[in-house]
Every structure is written in structure tokens, then in C-alpha cells.
Amino acid sequence: MKKVFFPVLLMLASLSASGAVSVRTSIDVQAEVSTSVRIYVDGKDVTNGMISLKLEDKSGYMTGITPDFQFIGNASAVSLSLTSPANRSLVSENGDEMLLNTAWVKPGGGDVSTSYPFNNLPVYPSLSEVPPNSGIKVRFTSAARSETYPLGVYSGTYEVIVTPSV
């Protein structure tokens, strides 16, 4: 009797399972990718960070040029603007001011005033795709000759603002 009962039980279990009705629900998946650009200097990500530049006396003026800025991301291009400290000046520990003139140094050479945004700079998908010497730099030059400023260490913070184009 046990031998007959077990197969009948299996058959009843499979019949009840085949009589079950499956149900389902759908999952609607979306991913919105927004424009993203990172700023690189000397192969390092400096996005929302800081780089340092020390001006040196050259031809009687305090001057310095940043390394190349490269832009990595999914934007088609970027525009740059430069904000300066109060009065476009560096300030010494004694409160003396050094007025600076600033300029964008275009890839391949040539200066353009930072009074206006620099538009349509290329954005690359990765650092390995950035051509050599293709970044933009910023030149800082004292407005007056070095010897006209009182002795001291002058400092101030400029900010490069990068606006991506879609």
C-alpha cells in the first residue's frame, strides 16, 4: 500500500502545481546621465581642489604660468571664466597689494584676456585621449615692476570656473 500511495501523492502534488497561475510585475528601470566634466592638471584630478603657483621675477615683473588644464568628461565642450580676489590683487602679510594682470594662454600659444570667458575648449573621454600640449593655461603678471612693491609674501586665490556645453 505504501508503494502505491507515494506515486499517487507525487501525481497529486504535480497536478496542483500545474494548476497554479503565475503572476508577475514589471520593473521600469531608468538612468539619467547628466553632463559631467573633471579638471586635470599634470595628470591629477583637481576638480573642486586647488593648485599652487609661485610667481617669479622675470624681466622686472612678477610672473607665472599654470600647467595645462585638461577637461575629461561627457560634455561636447567647456567654457572657462576666471574670478579674482578683491581688486584683482595679491595681498602681503603687511596689507600691501600687488595688482595682477591675467590672461588665458591658448594651446599652441597666444594670450587672450581673462576679462572674457574662453569658449569651446574640447572635452576628452579619458586622459589617454588628450593630445600633447592641448590644454589651456593661465598667465599671471604683476601690473607694475617688481621693485615698486614693498618686501613681503603676497598671496590671493583665483578661481577657474568650468561650464560644460551639452
Q: For residue 13, what is the enclosing H or E element?
A: helix 2-18
d(CA 54, CA 158): 13
- Residue 106 has φ and ψ, to the nearest 5°, of -70, 155
With a cut of 80, say whether residue 44 has pLDDT above it.
yes
**Is 105 domain-assigned?**
yes
**Is 12 domain-assigned?**
no
Copy the grid coordinates of residue 151.
Answer: 618686501
d(CA 54, CA 156): 11
Domain tally, the chain: 1
**Is 15 domain-assigned?**
no
pLDDT in tens, 97-124: 999 999 999 988 899 999 999 999 999 9
Burial label for 101, CB within 10 Å (0-12, 13-18, 19+), is: middle
The residue ranking higher by pLDDT, 109 or 94, is 94
**Is 21 domain-assigned?**
no
Number of Cβ within 10 Å of residue 60's Cβ equals 12
**Is 66 domain-assigned?**
yes
User: Could you tell me what percent of the chain has a pLDDT over 90?
Assistant: 79
pLDDT in tens, 14-26: 545 567 999 999 9
Copy the grid coordinates of residue 99.
Answer: 595688482
Please give the model's pTM, rounded to 2 decimal places: 0.80
The domain in which residue 134 lies consists of 37-165
- Is the distance from CB of 45 to CB of 37 less than 8 angstroms? no
Q: What is the CATH number of the domain that holds 88?
A: 2.60.40
**Is 14 domain-assigned?**
no
d(CA 107, CA 93): 35
- Residue 28 has φ and ψ, to the nearest 5°, of -90, 115
